[in-house]
Structure 1
Amino acid sequence: MSGASRRRRVTSGDVAREAGVSRATVSYVLNDTPHQKISETTRERVREAVARLGYAPSAAARSLRKGRSDIVLGLLPDWPIEHVLGRLVQQLTSAFAEHGLTFLVHSAARPARPVREIWKALTPVAVLALDELPESEADAMRAAGIDVVMAVHGSGRGRNSPPLVSEEPIGAAQARHLAASHHRLGYACPDLAGLGVLARPRLDGVRRVCAELGLPEPDVRVIPFDPDGAAAAVKAWRAAEPRVTGICAFNDAVALSVLVALRSLGLRVPDDMAVIGVDDTPAAALAQPPLTTVARDADALARGLARRLVDALDGRRIPVDPLRDPLRVLVRTSA
């Protein structure tokens, strides 16, 4: 056979032969099984054999031993995986690891395999969808034996279940910051329909604050990621009656597009138009002028999501209200 042959997986039987003990002894040592009279010399011999052979217990074997899988399947929608989403995935991985769970992520970006094929192949103990999850899909997962199915932005836990995390306070925080010195606000939407599950509630937060303060309805514009399209939106805001002077942007990327458009039109920020973003991405502080933005605590958010999922696995009652999401407005020059 030409080329490198596929190496056979090392088994606990191989470790037993290498260490000169039974497979049961290997299992007792690796699982630290209590009430087993195994000398420290034997334990060390087993550990050395494991290291020499590079043995790692299979996921299936761990599942049989524990009575359930240790995998939490994270379902990512077809969103751009930028700084904030990437950081949340990292924090979720760490948060689940603290509970002895492995967080595996599947992205729906095409041409990905259908989600149903993935969870059927993995048989995870739980599924955490970052987007909305159709109840029919959640029902199929439960019928297949997946213990807990949750969706960060709604459904999955029961008919018409509310989101685990609310985006509405983000828009409200933006609007309150700008309303102190601006009497007509605009909202800059992303030019990507899939982000509507995030953009709609953020816009609702802006609308709510405007209504509470007696301000006009916010002027909503989609901001494409090209200079001419963004400039056209800025011109429309400037021509509105009353004129829009403060912009709540969906996120920092959209806010930066608005800043570029303002600069191309010779307008001053924040004198002619103020802009506030969301996410505190690295580019926000480097922008000209530096971008005022709403920052959320990704670590606290990840720990809260992990805690709720683990509580559900353990049969504890889960609160209906969304998680508390600590928000901070980082005030810079743009607003």
Structure 2
Amino acid sequence: MGSSGRVTLKDVAAASGVSRATVSFVLNDDPRQSISAATRDRVKQAARDLGYVPHGVARALREGTSRVVVLNIDAELEGRYSRSYVRGLDTELAAHDHVLLVRYGHDTPQSTQQVLDAIAPRAVIRFGEAYLTGRGLDDMGGGWRDGLAAHTALQLRHLAEHGHTRVAVGLPDPGSPLAEARLTFTGQAARELGVPVPESFAVPQDPADCARAVGALLAGVPEVTAIAGFSDDVALRVLTALRGLGRRVPEDVAVIGFDDNGYGVHVTPPLTTVAIDAEAHGRLSARLALDLGTEGLRPPSARVVVRGSV
């Protein structure tokens, strides 16, 4: 038993003769793990015999907090990543008898304090923080292995492999808090690939303004042969603008999106994009919020969904 007197996953593992990771998989009822029924029964019986209580739940009861976890997310970040992240977060929290409350809108200290005062949540999570900020460049939360930096590099690498060395990055207008990080990672990836650091420009939502912005970019930097969208939304605006300008895609200008929002398949040409499954990131956030082990969590690699725009 742990030095604090509290039964831990390690104690359950020792009593059932399996690894700590296996205990975590069994008690979290992870359907993706192939664990025999006999082993599952042995682990659950050991947990019952020892009186094991998940640390997060025990602390919530002891401190008088609710079993609600709040997720703050900006609506502009909606996409494949956010949907899969929320799904993983919700599933993992539910497995530990907690409820997820999603709060859309810009996060401020004042808004967070209002939530704390109103419902005393178990935790307040900033959506995908490690992934989006690129902290911990080698861990599964973000960075160059499974995070924003790696996925930004994947987008640029796909263009470079198709012969596009002069690239422009289309950014959302109004701007995003992630724009600076994306440009930093794009520049680093370009230097590693040995291609020029891409130009960047804002892509307005208004169609006429968008067409003017794309036209001005191509007139000012005629060497550009591809545009990498900050998101699928931005890339789809660029596709529409290029068609209005009489530019062929991908013959004249290639376009690639980011975070496959599902709409790119419905346009002509269909949009090539980077797809990211973040369910493991959501599960990781849930376990960290509840002070549980994080063994066995590793997100699948992002992939380029090849369609017709590159």
TM-score of the aligned structures, taking structure 2 as reference length:
0.68
Residue type at the aligned position of 1:264: G
Give CA-to-partner distance per residue, 1:50-95, whole Å, 9 cap, x none.
xxxxxxxxxxxx9658965322121223636566534533332122
Residue type at the aligned position of 1:175: L
CA contact (8 A) 1:74 1:105 kept: yes
1:71 matches 2:46: no
1:170 matches 2:167: no
Give CA-to-partner distance per residue, 1:234-291, whole Å, 9 cap, x none.
2233224461111110010000000000100111100100011011122111111000
* Number of the residue aligned with 2:94: 97
Larger Rg, first or second structure (1 or 2): 1
* Equivalent of 1:188 in 170, 182, 185: 170
Name structure 1 gaps, 5 residues minimum: 1-33, 36-61, 133-150, 157-161
SS at match of 2:250: coil
* Equivalent of 1:212 in 183, 192, 199: 192
* Number of the residue aligned with 2:123: 126
CA contact (8 A) 2:80 2:275 kept: no
Deviation at 1:204, TM superposition (A): 2.3
CA contact (8 A) 1:292 1:332 kept: yes
CA contact (8 A) 1:178 1:246 kept: yes
Alignment of 1:108-127 (within 5 A): 108=105, 114-127=111-124
* Number of the residue aligned with 1:276: 256
1:290 matches 2:270: yes
Paired-residue identity, %: 36
Query: Which whole-Å CA distance do the structure 1 matches of 2:199 and 2:134 have between them?
Result: 30
* Number of the residue aligned with 1:329: 304
Q: Cα gap change, 1:263/1:184 in structure 2, threshold over 3 Å: closer, same or farther?
A: same
Residue type at the aligned position of 1:178: L
CA contact (8 A) 2:288 2:294 kept: no
SS at match of 2:247: coil
SS at match of 2:257: strand
Q: Cα gap change, 1:171/1:155 in structure 2, threshold over 3 Å: closer, same or farther?
A: closer
Query: Which whole-Å CA distance do the structure 1 matches of 2:190 and 2:64 have between them?
Result: 53
* Number of the residue aligned with 1:228: 208
Q: Cα gap change, 1:269/1:121 in structure 2, threshold over 3 Å: closer, same or farther?
A: same
Residue type at the aligned position of 1:120: D
SS at match of 1:278: coil
CA contact (8 A) 1:188 1:249 kept: yes
Give CA-to-partner distance per residue, 1:115-148, whole Å, 9 cap, x none.
211112221222211276xxxxxxxxxxxxxxxx
Query: Which whole-Å CA distance do the structure 2 matches of 1:212 and 1:63 have between them?
Result: 47
Query: Which whole-Å CA distance do the structure 1 matches of 2:60 and 2:242 have between them?
Result: 57
TM-score of the aligned structures, taking structure 1 as reference length:
0.63
Query: Which whole-Å CA distance do the structure 1 matches of 2:128 and 2:281 have between them?
Result: 15
CA contact (8 A) 1:79 1:109 kept: no
Higher relative CO (CA 8 A, sep ≥ 6), structure 1 or 2?
2
CA contact (8 A) 1:294 1:327 kept: yes
Q: What is the aligned-residue RMSD (CA, Å)?
A: 3.6
Name structure 2 gaps, 5 residues minimum: 1-47, 50-58
Query: Which whole-Å CA distance do the structure 2 matches of 1:214 and 1:292 have between them?
Result: 23
**Residue range with higher mean Cα deviation, 94-103 or 75-84:** 75-84
Deviation at 1:183, TM superposition (A): 1.9
Residue type at the aligned position of 2:171: C
